[in-house]
Amino acid sequence: MATCDDRSPLPVVVAVIMDDQGRCLITRRPQDVHQGGRWEFPGGKREPGESRDQALTRELAEELGITPLSHEPLICLTHDYPDLQVHLDVVRVTDFQGTPQGLEGQPLKWVPVQALDARNFPKANRPIIRALSLPDRYLITPDHWDPEQLRVHLECSLGDPAVSLVQLRAPQLDAGAYAALAEDALALCRRQGVRLMLNADPALARDLGADGVHLNHQRLCDWRGRPSGLASDFLVAASVHDEVSMTQARQAGCDFVVVSPVAPTRTHPGAAPLGWTRFASLADQAACPVYALGGMTPEDIPRARAHGGQGVAGIRGVWPACSSD
Ligand SMILES: Nc1nc2c([nH]c(=O)n2[C@@H]2O[C@H](COP(=O)(O)OP(=O)(O)OP(=O)(O)O)[C@@H](O)[C@H]2O)c(=O)[nH]1
Ligand SMILES: [Mg+2]
């Protein structure tokens, strides 16, 4: 299982401890410490020579009196506070022994993941909360589907519980046809509680009430901050291919990014794939959850997660099969 690289920022292990009702455990930091008074996920500094998992076990014993039995990587990130740089290696603990108690006198509570409000946490926690709210796959519409095929595929896929985040990408359509299709697609997605990202002008995504905008290379270059009037939960995502575009996505404050091409694809046979090592290095530089795109299928999700990713994005291999295929 991948862990974050050792580096000079303060290394911290953070545990998102889940119960079987989909709630996670949060505790309040004492007033007199760094980020005092804010809610946090349990955890703490890794001691010299300690592995991530050793630090996890020690911190959860010291702070809560529990033993983690199984966990998986969630996200790694570096954050610059004015007074300190931290590197958070965040894991999701899915099973543990014991009953959590605030052994250092800290208040604790169980909260449904959807109710987590990043404003009550240290700034570095925003991507952690975002990672908890995003699925392990991001479906992108193929550009060879005409609008009718697209509607049929959306209708047949939206009942699948694995489908909860979709990007409407249709560069073959002119602006009017795209906007008409987007309105229909939004109505379909809303009915099923699926979030729809428009690969379009951010103002169009806002005006149509989409769940977010997906910035292609040009729109990421042109991005000058969130347009006014956006809902606070409106998602901004971007396509990233290298270190330069990852830096742009960081500066744009993206909620998540898609890194491609990770593996060879049928659509771009000539493009040199990044491979998993380079994907992991780019994911480590991100300040948000990262999906792997290019030759991906749902079977690649564990590999993407082991390399610091949120999951996979797909144009072909990630859509459920439909009877019209
Ligand atoms: N545990 C934890 N630390 C966090 C979170 N978010 C975040 O920015 N941090 C930062 O990570 C750093 C280390 O956390 P910590 O204070 O829990 O360390 P610790 O348990 O070893 O404390 P100690 O020094 O009292 O033994 C702090 O600067 C803290 O502000 C979070 O969600 N959980
Ligand atoms: Mg701590």
pLDDT in tens, 1-58: 445 544 489 999 999 999 999 999 999 999 989 889 999 999 999 999 999 999 999 9
Shared domain for 92 and 143, answered yes or no, is no
> Which pLDDT score is estimated for 6?
45
- Mean pLDDT across 105-120: 95
Q: For ligand 1, is residue 190 a contact (CB within 6 Å)?
A: no
**Of 200-209, 292-301, 315-324, the least confident:** 315-324
Atom of ligand 1 nearest to the CA of 81: 8
Shared domain for 150 and 269, answered yes or no, is yes
Shared domain for 175 and 193, answered yes or no, is yes
Residue where a domain stops, chosen among 103, 133, 163: 133
Shared domain for 105 and 149, answered yes or no, is no
Shared domain for 106 and 142, answered yes or no, is no
pLDDT in tens, 214-232: 999 999 999 988 878 888 8
Q: Which CATH number fits the domain that encloses residue 298?
A: 3.20.20.70
DSSP, residue by residue, 89-125: EEEEEEEEES----TTS--EEEEEGGG--GGGS-GGG
Per-residue confidence band for 325, with pLDDT thresholds at 50, 70 and 90? low
Residue where a domain stops, chosen among 83, 107, 133: 133
Q: Does residue 324 carry a pLDDT above 60?
A: no
Examine residue 114 and state whether it is found in any structural domain, yes or no.
yes
Shared domain for 163 and 308, answered yes or no, is yes
307 is in an annotated binding site: no
> Which pLDDT score is estimated for 213?
97
Joined together, the tokens standing for residue 202 give 């951010």
> Which pLDDT score is estimated for 163?
92
Shared domain for 262 and 171, answered yes or no, is yes
234 is in an annotated binding site: no
Q: For ligand 1, is residue 34 a contact (CB within 6 Å)?
A: yes
Please choose from 40, 41, 129 the residue to mutate so as to test ligand 1's pocket, defined by most ligand atoms within 8 A of CB.
40
Give CA–CA dist 262/291, Å, rounded: 10
Examine residue 240 and state whether it is found in any structural domain, yes or no.
yes
Examine residue 193 and state whether it is found in any structural domain, yes or no.
yes
> Which pLDDT score is estimated for 48?
94
Shared domain for 162 and 14, answered yes or no, is no
Give CA–CA dist 104/79, Å, rounded: 25
The continuous run of DSSP H or E covering 280 comes out as helix 275-285
Examine residue 281 and state whether it is found in any structural domain, yes or no.
yes
The continuous run of DSSP H or E covering 240 comes out as strand 235-240
Mean pLDDT of the chain: 92
Residue closest by Cα to atom 16 of ligand 1: 44
What global pTM score does this model have? 0.91
191 is in an annotated binding site: no
Shared domain for 191 and 247, answered yes or no, is yes
Q: Does residue 294 carry a pLDDT above 90?
A: yes
How many angstroms is it from 12 CA to the middle of ligand 2? 9
Shared domain for 125 and 141, answered yes or no, is no
Examine residue 320 and state whether it is found in any structural domain, yes or no.
no
Shared domain for 15 and 28, answered yes or no, is yes
Instruction: Name which residue leads in pLDDT, 140 or 5.
Output: 140
- Mean pLDDT across 65-89: 95
Q: For ligand 1, is residue 11 a contact (CB within 6 Å)?
A: no
| Number of domains composing the chain | 2
> Which pLDDT score is estimated for 263?
93
Shared domain for 52 and 162, answered yes or no, is no
Q: Which of 235, 28, 23 is nearest to 113 (CA)?
A: 23
* Domain carrying residue 90: 10-133
Q: For ligand 1, is residue 103 a contact (CB within 6 Å)?
A: no
pLDDT in tens, 265-274: 877 777 789 9
Residue closest by Cα to atom 19 of ligand 1: 44
Q: Does residue 259 carry a pLDDT above 70?
A: yes
The continuous run of DSSP H or E covering 270 comes out as none
> Which pLDDT score is estimated for 7?
47
Residue where a domain stops, chosen among 109, 133, 157: 133
Per-residue confidence band for 145, with pLDDT thresholds at 50, 70 and 90? confident
Please choose from 4, 16, 45, 54 the residue to mutate so as to test ligand 1's pocket, defined by most ligand atoms within 8 A of CB.
45
